[in-house]
């Protein structure tokens, strides 16, 4: 819940009452205990830009005055020797709900040594927290500390403007000091400024753009949590998402394998990913619908993750089956400037990045580029990746604009999978590749460009909206061999056994628009008050795709063709949402989303009869079109029986677009439908604990699972999931943070494909757990940041430690088999000194050989001997113990 | 209720709720990892021959065998009612080969079938010569090599029109590349009775060979062309007689499979 989102008629803030001990134009945002601190407005921009994807919030209601933090205990600044500067040092200080300083960053300094001394002192100050009524809130305040040479060395507050008392250095405030009353004006701002004011508080109430936490399974994960544990790459920040697992199974250039609360999302089929407002999922991708390669992400610019698990928000679109993850990009004040970072790690892995975030620009304005190369943790795993992201927010007033662009290119070899029995018999090592050209030729190439332009409107009385357009191009090409030497050509008579190296290529060109508008809050007498939102999303995707079998030993000769198709897909969605607060106790959100999905498929190999019928009776090909309408409610009910307790129930129906080539001509429901119900509670406690628990049920009308002989996803019928999740964030001290999530799910296949003559014993049976989905996922992140040496030369010396632990219970496999449990431990240690930071990270510290993915299917990797025909366990090896050392400098 | 009291009560409630939830999750996690519907399993593979005695052929000729050895393997047990191409995913397999003494009616253990439990409704195997998808030439197993790159070797005497002749006969049983490349050549037919449930209690697969029906594919002229018998005769694998025996081995009376 954001600062002022409960105020339907926000009024201009009182321009008095600045008698607090906070110094000078203080920029404040008041966040809910577990909400992000709203980002500060850029200088000269009175209208703060919308928070990235909105912050948690409820409907605006009656104005609630907000009291900003007060200093209750100061620690004097020790004026450094050898300097004689005097003046003011301006800090941006984050005060948590307990009144503890969590961050103190110099925004305008005097001298590096003086600045460091001021930061060191202010970090030890104690505040009374900001409050809204009785509710303690976290806040970001701007503090100006006057400093003078030793004769005036004690830190003292200047005389406050309106009768406020000065702050005695190192002492508690005088008893007559009173905090200011702070409300919110239509821009969420409340302040008064006069030139002689030394104690001013400006509150930029970053009210929610809209309510985004509609169920107990919705989370807003802020940077402090995202960066707690060490990360090998940007997309690893996703690991903090409750119930989500990510692994790199096919090399640096291929999308991660995702799994979220009972959905084996493979490369993104069940999770809607949005980065900086740009949709990432690619419909009808040859390697799996919803393919989402997040290899372009640069971790240092991921500002926040907003996660909607389940379906309860009408904004959730295609592929929001298990949920939606929206990443907002930005660079906070502490990290702005020019940051250069480089490092080197195990397996000949250099990485370098540069981030340029002008200090005077908005939080969302930055440019970033990253280069990674690796020799790979074993045979045939080398790869190189480069990506760049630029984003800029500009404009003032009610409408601001944001432009974003990203480009990504990567190529990586892949070791693919190896049989467990071959590992056991030492025929191949755990991290090796089979010694055949068809295995050694496995690789992936990824190329992508995405760009968007968005205009954001922040109107009076909580009206808001945005419109945007985006374009994208994606090229994907992979060569993968899962089954060894089992395939027979369907086009060339008598040709077989040349290696099952499947080549997949996919090109997608995307044009899209998005827009929404939420009205001002309106009253309905005793029935309460609420807002109405309408919006639309639309995109056109022109897709070309092919799949062939290649003979790697003869310059990738094509020895069979399996797919040669073109698809045009259009997704047009309209949604509406009523957010209604009947009283302080009950809030109802009623939404509806309708989408029209249409496809035109030119399947150039359709109707091909492999070697059984004369080819001169017709010309190969199967052209068809299909259109369907997917309509589903998105509702949630929130009850607040106690001030610290939120009970939530949500139900929604979503959809996933199909692999278009599977459609028949005239098909009227070209999508899979998901029904998702969720109940739970959020506990709005002040520090040190944030907690939410939830239970959920989902039913998917037509699920898909990986099919090894085709190297892609195939239908497995209807499935269901019943699960529970717990998420907690703990801040026992101002320097320690812990985050824990536990997700359990029981899954079942309801209508698996029946036995056929070709497959009399199918791999799936009714009631069987959904393959490849771990029933229990535990994730723990922790970080500590402390100052070791107050004065180490020009700067204090700080130490940082991070830890990430993941546990996955054994994953069910086809044919009723199951995999192995996976416990993974990562940790990092770092030193920060002025503009420099040095970090050493270790990954998989237990050095476990683990299967990032394990499969069960038939393969033959002994081409010169009778083949195995029993489905065997195959593994895609995860990374062994590795270390990485990075040095960063911020200019 | 003041905020401190509320906070305390809330924390107590949360503590209890969290503990209960974690305990429940633990129980669920354990129960969620229950028994799989199928389990990895191995079966002992045992073969048995039999003394055919004197085999009287259709033309009255009589054969008495002194040696009958076959190369056997690989062997697959399949879940479908027909094997062959419909056995892309087998239940159990033995990918080795061994020379089987077809005249020995004692159990001859050959090794272990490996795979998983579950129903099996068909089988398929080769007589030491295996067609591979990956090779133009068939794979000759060590057992077949031991027999001189053939599937079956028979030795004995044949009495044709009163004249006794020692003979040796070599038979090559292999899949024709133009037929079903990469598929085992001997398969259970739809009329054969073979429906079993392999459980963890199932210990052994017994394969019983009977060479007598194969010999019935021969006649005296195969040994004594134009009634001109010699004291010894060697019949090569590419001879019509050997091909008839091969045909009998593939499409005639096949071994008997028993799970026990």
Query: Phi-psi category of B142—alpha, beta or left, where left has phi over 0 and alpha has psi -120 to 50?
Result: alpha
- β-strand pairing of B40-48 with B204-208: parallel
Partner residue facing A485 (CB), from B14, B86, B134: B134
Q: What is the pTM (predicted TM-score) of this model?
A: 0.80
pLDDT at A765: 82
Q: For residue B68, what is the enclosing H or E element?
A: strand B62-72
State the ipTM, two decimals.
0.85
Percentage of residues of chain A with pLDDT beyond 70: 82
Length reported for chain B:
260
Give the pLDDT of residue A60.
Answer: 40
Chain B positions in Cβ-Cβ contact with residue A707 (cut-off 8 Å): none
At residue A754, the pLDDT reads 83
Q: Give the residue among A497, A238, A79 at the shortest CA–CA distance from B177.
A: A497
More confident residue, A99 or A37: A99
**Nearest-CA distance from A159 to chain B in Å?**
33
Using only C-alpha atoms, chain A has a radius of gyration, in whole angstroms, of: 29
Q: What is the CA angle B98-B104-B105, rounded to 5?
A: 115
pLDDT digits (tens, 9 = 90+) for B118-150: 889 999 999 999 999 998 889 999 999 999 999
Mutate to test the interface with B, among A855, A869, A873, A874 (most CBs of B within 10 A): A869
Cross-chain Cβ contact A816/B36 below 8 Å? yes
Q: Which residues are bridge partners to A504 per DSSP?
A: A478, A547
Please report the DSSP string for A560-592 in residue order. EEEEEEEEEEEEEEEEEEEEEESSSSEEEEEEE
Residue B228 class from Cβ within 10 Å (0-12 exposed, 13-18 middle, 19+ buried)? exposed
* Residues in B touching A776 (Cβ below 8 Å): 25, 28-29, 32
pLDDT of residue B190: 74
User: Does the pLDDT at position A285 exceed 90?
Assistant: yes
Digit-coded pLDDT (tens) for B169-222: 999 999 875 667 888 999 988 778 889 999 999 999 999 999 999 999 999 999
User: Position of tokens 């605006």?
Assistant: A60
Core vs surface per residue A538-558: b (16+ CB within 10 A) or e: bbebbbbbbbbbbbbeeeeee
As a whole number of angstroms, the distance between CA B221 and CA B238 comes to 16
Take residue A880 and report the two structure tokens written for it. Answer: 């062994």
Structure-block tokens of residue A101: 């300083």
Q: What is the pLDDT of residue A346?
A: 97
Considering only CB atoms, which chain A residues are within 8 Å of B89? 759, 761, 763, 857-858, 869-871
Give the pLDDT score at A98: 77
Question: Please, which residues have CB within 8 angstroms of residue A19's CB and are 6 or more apart in sequence?
Answer: A160, A162, A163, A164, A165, A177, A178, A179, A180, A199
The runs of H, that is alpha helices, within B182-251 are: 212-215, 220-223, 240-251
- The Cβ of residue B51 has, within 10 Å, a number of other Cβ atoms equal to 12
Would you tell me which residues 38-77 of chain A have a C-beta closer than 8 angstroms to some C-beta of chain B?
Answer: none
**Residue A224: predicted pLDDT:** 87
Strands, E assignment, B81-224: 92-94, 98-101, 108-116, 118-120, 122-125, 129-130, 139-140, 152-160, 163-171, 186-187, 196-198, 204-208
User: Cα(A294)–Cα(B260) distance, rounded to whole angstroms?
Assistant: 54
pLDDT per position as a tens digit, A567-590:
999 999 999 999 999 988 999 999
* pLDDT at position A177 over 50: no
Q: How confident is the model at residue A452 (pLDDT cuts 50, 70, 90)?
A: very high
C-alpha distance from A757 to closest chain B C-alpha (Å): 7
Query: What is the per-residue pLDDT across A316-365, written as a single tens digit (0 to 9) for each?
Result: 999 999 999 999 999 998 899 999 999 999 999 999 999 999 988 999 99
Q: How far is Cα A658 from Cα A669, in angstroms, rounded to an integer?
A: 10
Shortest CA distance to A296 belongs to which of A353, A359, A380?
A: A353
Cβ neighbors of A838 (< 8 A, separation 6 or more) are A830, A831, A885, A886, A887, A888
User: Which ranges of A138-235 would DSSP assign to H, the alpha helix?
Assistant: 223-226
**Has residue B7 got a pLDDT over 80?**
no
DSSP-H helix ranges across A215-308: 223-226
User: A870 and B114: CB-CB below 8 Å?
Assistant: yes
pLDDT at site A688: 72
Which residues of chain B does A769 touch, with a Cβ-Cβ cutoff of 8 Å? 32
Q: What pLDDT, on a 0 to 100 scale, did the predictor assign at position B104?
A: 96
Q: Are A739 and A728 in contact (CB under 8 A)?
A: yes
Q: Is the pLDDT of residue A651 over 50?
A: yes
Q: Which residue is listed with tokens 């601001």? A: A400
Asked whether residue A739 carries a pLDDT value surpassing 90, the answer given is: yes
Mean pLDDT of A65-75: 73
Is B91 within 8 Å of A870 when comparing Cβ atoms? yes
pLDDT (0 to 100) of residue B140: 96
Cβ of residue A642 closer than 8 Å to a chain B Cβ: yes
3-class DSSP state of A638: strand
- pLDDT bucket at A142, cuts 50 / 70 / 90: confident
**Interface probe, candidates A854, A870, A872, chain B, greatest B C-beta count within 10 A:** A870
Q: Which tokens in the block code for residue A231? A: 């990360």
Two structure tokens written together for A95: 């005060």
8 Å CB contact of B33 and A746: no
Nearest to A496 among B17, B79, B182 (CB): B182
Q: What is the mean pLDDT of residues A685-696?
A: 85
* Integer Cα distance of B111 and B258 in angstroms: 16
Q: Find the residue in A nearest to B178 (Cα).
A: A494
Q: What is the pLDDT of residue A595?
A: 97
pLDDT for B26 equals: 46
How far is CA A843 from each of CA A229, A441, A829, B201, rounded to the nearest angstrom? 10, 28, 12, 44
Cα-based distances in Å from A94 to A68, A91, A128, A206, A305: 12, 10, 12, 15, 20
Least confident range from A445-454, A643-652, B77-86: namely: B77-86
What share of residues in chain A are helix, strand, coil (percent, to 5)?
5, 50, 45
For β-strands B163-171 and B232-235, DSSP reports them as parallel
**The two three-digit tokens of residue B247, written as one number:** 């045909």
């Amino acid at each position: 819940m954001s600062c002022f989102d409960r105020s339907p008629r926000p009024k201009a803030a009182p321009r008095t009452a600045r008698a607090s001990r906070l110094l000078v134009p203080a920029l404040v945002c008041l966040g809910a205990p577990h909400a992000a601190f709203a980002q500060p407005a850029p200088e000269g921009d009175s209208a703060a830009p919308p928070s990235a994807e909105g912050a948690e919030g409820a409907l605006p209601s009656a104005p609630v005055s907000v009291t900003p933090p007060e200093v209750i205990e100061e620690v004097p600044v020790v004026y450094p020797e050898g300097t004689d500067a005097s003046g003011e040092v301006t800090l941006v200080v984050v005060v948590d709900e307990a009144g503890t300083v969590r961050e103190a960053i110099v925004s305008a300094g005097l001298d590096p040594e003086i600045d460091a001394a001021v930061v060191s002192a202010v970090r030890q100050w104690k505040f009374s927290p900001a409050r809204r009524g009785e509710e303690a809130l976290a806040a970001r305040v701007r503090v100006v500390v006057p400093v003078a040479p030793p004769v005036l060395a004690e830190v003292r507050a200047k005389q406050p403007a309106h009768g406020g008392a000065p702050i005695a250095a190192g002492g508690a405030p005088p008893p007559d000091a009173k905090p200011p009353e702070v409300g919110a004006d239509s821009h969420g701002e409340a302040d008064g400024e006069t030139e002689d004011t030394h104690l001013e508080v400006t509150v930029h109430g970053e009210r929610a753009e809209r309510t985004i936490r509609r169920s107990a399974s919705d989370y807003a994960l802020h940077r402090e949590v995202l960066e707690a544990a060490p990360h090998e790459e940007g997309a690893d920040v996703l690991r903090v998402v409750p119930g989500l697992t990510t692994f790199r199974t096919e090399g640096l250039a291929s999308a991660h394998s995702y799994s979220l609360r009972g959905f084996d999302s493979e490369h993104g089929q069940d999770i809607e990913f949005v980065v900086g407002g740009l949709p990432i999922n690619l419909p009808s991708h040859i390697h799996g619908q919803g393919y989402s390669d997040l290899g372009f992400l640069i971790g240092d610019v991921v500002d926040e993750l907003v996660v909607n698990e389940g379906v309860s928000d009408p904004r959730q679109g295609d592929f929001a089956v298990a949920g939606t993850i929206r990443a907002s990009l930005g660079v906070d004040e502490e990290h702005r400037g020019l940051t250069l970072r480089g490092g080197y790690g195990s397996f000949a892995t250099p990485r370098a990045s540069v981030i340029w975030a002008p200090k005077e620009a908005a939080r969302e304005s930055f440019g970033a580029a990253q280069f990674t190369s690796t020799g790979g943790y074993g045979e045939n795993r080398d790869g190189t990746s480069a990506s760049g992201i630029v984003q800029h927010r500009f404009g003032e007033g009610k409408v601001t604009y944001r432009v974003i662009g990203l480009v990504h290119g990567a190529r990586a070899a892949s070791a693919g999978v190896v049989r467990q029995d071959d590992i056991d018999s030492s025929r191949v090592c755990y991290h090796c590749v089979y010694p055949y050209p068809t295995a050694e030729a496995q690789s992936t190439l990824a190329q992508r460009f995405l760009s968007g332009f968005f205009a954001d409107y922040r109107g009076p009385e909580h009206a808001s909206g945005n419109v945007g357009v985006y374009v994208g191009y994606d090229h994907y090409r992979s060569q993968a061999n899962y089954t060894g030497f089992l395939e027979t050509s369907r086009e060339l008579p008598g040709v077989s056994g040349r290696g099952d190296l499947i080549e997949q290529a996919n090109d997608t060109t995307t044009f899209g628009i998005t827009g929404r508008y939420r009205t001002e809050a309106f009253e309905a007498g005793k029935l309460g008050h609420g807002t109405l939102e309408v919006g639309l999303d639309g995109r056109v995707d022109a897709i070309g795709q092919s799949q062939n079998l290649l003979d790697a030993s003869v310059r990738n000769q094509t020895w069979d063709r399996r797919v040669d198709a073109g698809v045009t897909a259009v997704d047009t969605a309209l949604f509406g949402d009523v957010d209604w607060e009947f009283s302080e106790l009950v809030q109802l959100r009623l939404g509806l989303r309708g989408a029209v999905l249409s496809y035109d498929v030119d399947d150039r190999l359709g109707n091909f009869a492999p070697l059984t019928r004369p080819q001169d009776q017709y010309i190969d090909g199967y052209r068809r079109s299909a259109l369907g309408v997917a309509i589903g409610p998105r509702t949630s009910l929130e009850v607040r029986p106690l001030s610290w307790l939120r009970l939530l129930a949500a139900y929604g129906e979503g959809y996933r677009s199909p692999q278009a080539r599977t459609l028949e001509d005239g098909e009227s429901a070209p999508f899979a439908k998901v029904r998702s119900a969720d109940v739970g509670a959020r506990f709005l406690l002040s520090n040190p604990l944030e907690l939410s628990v939830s239970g959920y049920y989902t039913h998917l009308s037509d699920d898909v699972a990986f099919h090894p002989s085709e190297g892609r996803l195939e239908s497995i019928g209807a499935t269901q999931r019943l699960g529970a999740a717990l998420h907690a964030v703990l801040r026992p001290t101002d320097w320690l943070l812990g985050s824990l999530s536990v997700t359990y799910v029981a899954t079942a296949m309801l209508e698996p494909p029946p036995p056929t003559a070709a497959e009399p014993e199918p791999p799936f049976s009714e009631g069987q757990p959904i393959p490849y989905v771990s029933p229990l996922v535990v994730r723990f992140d922790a970080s500590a940041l402390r100052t070791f040496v107050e004065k180490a030369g020009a700067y204090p010396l700080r130490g940082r430690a991070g830890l990430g632990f993941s546990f996955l219970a054994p994953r069910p496999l086809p044919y009723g088999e199951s995999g192995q449990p996976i416990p993974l431990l990562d940790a990092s240690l770092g030193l920060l000194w002025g503009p420099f930071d040095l970090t050493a990270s270790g990954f998989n510290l237990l050095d476990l050989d683990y299967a990032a993915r394990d499969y069960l299917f038939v393969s033959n990797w002994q081409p010169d001997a009778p083949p195995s025909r029993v489905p065997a366990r195959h593994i895609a090896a995860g990374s062994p113990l590795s270390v990485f050392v990075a040095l960063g400098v911020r200019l | 209720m003041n905020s401190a009291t509320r906070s305390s009560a809330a924390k107590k409630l949360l503590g209890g709720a969290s503990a209960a939830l974690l305990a429940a999750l633990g129980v669920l996690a354990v129960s969620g990892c229950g028994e799989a519907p199928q389990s990895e399993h191995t079966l002992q593979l045992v073969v048995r021959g039999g003394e055919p005695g004197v085999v009287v052929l259709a033309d009255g000729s009589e054969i008495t065998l002194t040696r009958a050895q076959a190369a056997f393997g690989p062997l697959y047990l399949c879940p479908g009612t027909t094997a062959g191409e419909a056995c892309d995913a087998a239940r159990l397999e033995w990918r080795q080969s061994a020379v089987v003494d077809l005249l020995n009616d004692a159990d001859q253990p050959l090794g272990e079938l490996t795979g998983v439990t579950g129903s099996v409704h068909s089988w398929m195997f080769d007589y030491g010569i295996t067609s591979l998808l990956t090779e133009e030439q068939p794979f000759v197993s060590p057992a077949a090599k031991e027999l001189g790159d053939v599937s079956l070797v028979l030795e004995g005497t044949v009495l044709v029109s009163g004249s006794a002749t020692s003979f040796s006969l070599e038979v090559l049983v292999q899949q024709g590349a133009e037929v079903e490349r990469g598929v085992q050549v001997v398969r259970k037919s739809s009329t054969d009775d073979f429906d079993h449930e392999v459980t963890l209690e199932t210990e052994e697969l017994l394969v019983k060979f009977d060479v007598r029906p194969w010999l019935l594919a021969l006649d005296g002229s195969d040994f004594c062309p134009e009634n001109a018998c010699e004291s010894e005769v060697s019949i090569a694998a590419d001879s019509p007689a050997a091909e008839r025996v091969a045909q009998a081995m593939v499409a005639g009376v096949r071994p008997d499979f028993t799970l026990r």
